[in-house]
Amino acid sequence: MSCPENCVERMLQQTQRDRAQAAHDAARKQLAAQRRLVELGATGQIDADQAEAEVAKTRAELAQTTTKYENTLKDVERGRALVASKIMSEKVFDDRSNLKREAEAAVKFS
């Protein structure tokens, strides 16, 4: 049984979101390591501060890409039904689909 197009797209988007989550998790681990090095006197506070800033950055990127991803999924799903019932033009649906692809790219590169 093959997976419909939207199923494949969702799997791709979920994979990309998982990648953003992994980057955030790695940044948190780096921060913990830097804090421990500061405690041991093996590195300066600046390194720990930079690691903390990276955690904040990845947290924000993850939240942003997750929200955009979820919103575009909703828009595309709503749009499919509206196009089928001729309430929405295919042009508007295409625009929504393009926004979804942009969200996918944002998730992929965050």
Residue type, 58: T
Is the pTM higher than 0.75? The answer reads no
Query: Which pLDDT band holds residue 63 (cuts at 50, 70, 90)?
Result: confident
Q: What is the mean pLDDT of the chain?
A: 80
69, 107 Cβ separation under 8 angstroms: yes
> Buried b vs exposed e over 37-65: b needs ≥16 C-beta within 10 Å?
ebeeeebeeebbeebbebbeebeebbeeb
Terminal C-alpha separation, the chain: 32
Query: Which pLDDT band holds residue 29 (cuts at 50, 70, 90)?
Result: very high
Percent of the chain with pLDDT over 70: 85
Q: What pLDDT is stored for residue 110 in this prediction?
A: 57
Q: What pLDDT is stored for residue 73 in this prediction?
A: 80
